[in-house]
Structures are given as C-alpha cells and as structure tokens.
Amino acid sequence: MAAEVLNALKPRPDGRYADGTVGGAGHAESLLNASSPTGWLYGCDRDGAAVEAATRRLEGRFAGRFEVRRGNFAEMADWIPAGDCDGVILDLGVSSPQLDFAERGFSFQSDGPLDMRMDDRQPMTAADLVNGASAEELAKIFWEFGDESESRRMARAIVMDRGQKKFETTRQLAELLERISPRRGKKAHPATKVFQALRIAVNDEVGSLKRGLEAALKILKPGGRMAVITFHSLEVRKVKEFGREKTRDYAFSGEVDVPELRTPRAPEMRWVSRKAIVPGEIELAENPRSRSAQLRVLEKI
C-alpha cells in the first residue's frame, strides 16, 4: 500500500520519518524517494535478515539519509529523539519472506521447524510453546489470538499427542489439526488460526503493538502523522482502542468510563482516517496477500 501510505504521510524534503517494520524496505524506499533530496528515515525490524536486506536496498541511492537498526519498534523511542518525526509507518504482521522460507516455521504450506520467531535471538520458539504449555494455556492462546472456535478441543489433542512424540515441525502440527478438524470443503485450512495465534504469542505481538503505538506517538512532532497497516481483527481492535484513548478530550480512572467521574484534558491526537483504507484493484492483483490489509491514520496535535 505504498501509494496510500505516501498520501497519508505526505513526505516532503527535509522531513524526518520512521519505519518501525522496515522489512524489505518497500515503504522506506518510497518515503526516501518522495522526500528527496534531503529527507531522513529511521528504520528498524526484529528480523536480522530484513535489516540486512533493507540496508542493501537503500544504501546505493539513499546513502547518508537513513539509519536502520535491528530491534523491536516498541523500543523506537529509546533511540529516536522525542518529537523528531514528521511521520511514522507501522506495517504489522508477518512479511512475505518470513512466510516463504520454510525454515522460519511461520507457514504450514511447506514443512519446516516449528519456530515462528521474528527475532531468532529470542529463546522461545513455537515448538517450546506447543510442547510446554498446558491445555488451558494453549486454548486461551488459540481463542484470544486466533479466534479459534475449537480452541479447547485442539489444545487437548495437542497435549495428548505430544505425550507420544514432541512437536518439531509445522507439518506435524498442521496434520494433527486437520485430522481432528477435517476441512470438509472449507476454504481455510483448520491450522490457519492456530498458526496465527502461536505466532502472535511467540513474538508478543499484542504487547509490542501497544508499546509501539506509544513510542510512535512520542517520536512524532505536533502535526506528524502515524500510519498503521493491520491484517487481522486483533490488530484492528488495538489500534482503534489506542485511537479512542488518544483522541478523547477527557480522562477517567479505573477500567470503566463513568461520565460523572470524567476530568477534562486536551486530546493528544486526531483521526485523519478512522475508517479503514483498503488496497486498490492494482495492488490486489500484484500482491494478493494484501487483501486483508487495512490502513488507519492518526495525527499528533
């Protein structure tokens, strides 16, 4: 969604931008090109291979105009100065290279180790979680992060099966899930939601998103814009919750918003596009994986 992101952030010469999920540097390249000749870009990614690929892609044309580091976008405010950026892009979810390389263990389309780590420096893998968590813990993960209606039955089957043999590969897990929940003409593979849930849990994607949104707000200058691309309902919900909180003109204590107990305050942000901006026909034709992408935009006041 490069065109939509550029339209949202409106990059200009001398502008300073941050790409918290630099990946293959598609958005980063577009921002640097649109802000030529003097725009600057900060970039980061948890995936070491992505950082290397992004650096190679950018260093020729844009040498001296960017800094790319390996790390979680939740930590952007630790190294990017507060109030320094005119725009921030967060393109959430898993990248195509991560899905396409079987050894990363994100997909069951090809057999590979049950890994799923975005940052291979972290110790816990999906195999550790599947082989070590209780049935109750697994069911909670499948339900909360995957919206899997058969979460309890699948979790019990995994715990029973691993008593005979530990889960080591993506195909091993996918075949068990298909065995206990046959497709029977369904379009989606029965392992789809479980794999999404495991990936989110292994990489603490919900916690990272919450911290990352706060970090993005901190590094934006007044008038700076935040563009967030989500791919599933859990991400959408967290972005909307963040937007509601930051655009309110009042505060309240506790978890329940009681009108009588509200205290006035100035909002920190405003919605530029609360309604989802979705990919156009050309984008969908060129990149079918973008079909579930939704872009929302906020502006710091």
pTM, entire model: 0.93
Report the chain's mean pLDDT, rounded to a whole number. 94
What's the burial of 9, exposed, middle or buried (CB within 10 Å: 0-12/13-18/19+)?
Answer: buried
Interval 77-120: pLDDT, tens? 999 999 999 999 999 978 777 887 888 989 898 899 999 999 99
Q: Is the pLDDT of residue 195 over 90?
A: yes
Q: Which amino acid is at 78?
A: D
Report the distance separating Cα 118 and Cα 188, nearest Å: 24
Q: Please count the other Cβ atoms lying within 10 Å of the Cβ belonging to residue 244.
A: 12
Three-state DSSP state, 101: coil
101, two tokens = 């390389």
Interval 154-173: pLDDT, tens? 999 999 999 999 999 999 99
What are the DSSP E strand ranges found in the chain?
16-19, 40-45, 66-70, 85-91, 220-230, 250-251, 263-264, 269-277, 294-300
Q: What is the pLDDT of residue 255?
A: 85
